[in-house]
């Protein structure tokens, strides 16, 4: 249940060196498999980005099916984060694989899932970041690669490699921030790790107390009946149960 919208939009406030030539040729997925319009978005950013970061993440999960459901439904993930009091951002569906995301820190934009398979997701987003007197507009591409493994104790884990390409629209601001790119890179990684911390916390709650976690989610009455039923099935909970008081 990654926060693709928040991760992507957080990159709009920073910039770094221009993209190297032939960046699109080194993209690890076949671009011909992307749908209509998606390939053009990917190639445009790969050939003209102002920031690239590649953080790695690792955390336990309940099962791969639930993990991938949350990758595809950032709106459900955002609701779970609010219900479980580990996040305050909001994501709403606006169409097939399209979402609007915002958070109290001034990030607001649109996110789209461009590609999916059993080991990858590709997200594209564009929007604005507001902070005091400054409003920054930009866009980003996130390649989300993941691999499952079983730990010595039998617990399932997911290892994630994110590759994030961001482009800031204000060239003067991009140039100014480029001067401080060594410092900015660390701040971006910290922001990404914080966002992914929400994913980790939700996953760990589901791993260590699936029934109690589901009870809290059901009691909040924020998910549709269909999504709640699907979530219970993916958590492999056979029947609903009363909320603990």
Q: Residue 243: inside a domain, yes or no?
A: no
Q: Residue 51: inside a domain, yes or no?
A: yes
Q: Residue 216: inside a domain, yes or no?
A: yes
* Per-residue model confidence as pLDDT tens digits over 82-115: 999 888 889 999 999 999 988 887 788 899 999 9
Residue 68 has pLDDT above 80, yes or no: yes
Residue 196 has pLDDT above 80, yes or no: no
Q: Find the mean pLDDT for residues 153-179.
A: 77
Domain carrying residue 202: 4-234
- Find the angle CA(93)-CA(112)-CA(226) to the nearest 5 degrees: 30
Q: Residue 169: inside a domain, yes or no?
A: yes
Q: Residue 239: inside a domain, yes or no?
A: no
Convert 137-164 to b/e letters by CB count within 10 Å (16 or more is b): ebbbbbbbbbeeeeeeeeebebebebbb
Q: In which band, very low, low, confident or very high, does the pLDDT at 139 lie, cut at 50, 70 and 90?
A: confident
CATH number of the domain enclosing 213: 3.30.530.20
What per-residue confidence (pLDDT) applies to 106?
79
What per-residue confidence (pLDDT) applies to 225?
93
* Per-residue model confidence as pLDDT tens digits over 4-28: 444 444 444 443 344 444 445 478 8
CA atoms within 13 A on the CB side of 75: 18
Question: What are 178's two structure tokens?
Answer: 């480029």
CA distance 163 to 179: 22
Q: Residue 244: inside a domain, yes or no?
A: no
Q: Find the mean pLDDT for residues 52-65.
A: 86
Contacts of 78 (CB under 8 A, 6+ apart): 3, 87, 89, 90, 91, 101
* DSSP element (H, E) containing 21: none
Q: Residue 13: inside a domain, yes or no?
A: yes
User: CB atoms < 10 A from the CB of 173, how many?
Assistant: 17
What domain count does the chain have? Answer: 1
Claim: this prediction has a pTM higher than 0.85: no
Q: Residue 177: inside a domain, yes or no?
A: yes
* DSSP element (H, E) containing 236: none
* Per-residue model confidence as pLDDT tens digits over 117-134: 999 999 998 988 776 677
């Amino acid at each position: 249940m990654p926060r693709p919208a928040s991760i992507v939009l957080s990159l709009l406030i920073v910039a770094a060196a221009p993209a190297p030539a032939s960046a699109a040729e080194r993209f690890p997925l076949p671009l011909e498999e992307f749908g209509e319009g998606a390939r053009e978005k990917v190639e445009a950013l790969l050939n003209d980005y102002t920031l690239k970061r590649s953080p790695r993440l690792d955390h336990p999960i309940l099962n791969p099916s639930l993990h991938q459901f949350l990758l595809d439904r950032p709106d459900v993930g955002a609701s779970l984060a609010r219900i479980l009091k580990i996040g305050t951002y909001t994501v709403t569906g606006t169409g097939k694989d399209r979402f609007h995301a915002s958070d109290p820190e001034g990030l607001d934009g649109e996110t789209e899932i461009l590609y999916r398979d059993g080991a990858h997701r590709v997200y594209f987003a564009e929007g604005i970041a507001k902070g005091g007197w400054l409003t920054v507009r930009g866009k980003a591409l996130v390649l989300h690669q993941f691999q499952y493994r079983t730990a010595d104790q039998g617990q399932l884990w997911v290892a994630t490699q994110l590759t994030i390409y961001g482009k800031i629209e204000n060239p003067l601001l991009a140039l100014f921030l480029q001067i401080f790119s060594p410092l900015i890179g660390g701040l971006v990684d910290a922001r990404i790790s914080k966002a992914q911390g929400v994913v980790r916390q939700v996953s760990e709650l589901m791993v260590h107390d699936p029934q109690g976690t589901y009870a809290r989610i059901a009691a909040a009455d924020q998910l549709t009946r269909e999504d709640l039923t699907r979530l219970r099935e993916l958590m492999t909970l056979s029947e609903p149960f009363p909320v603990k008081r």
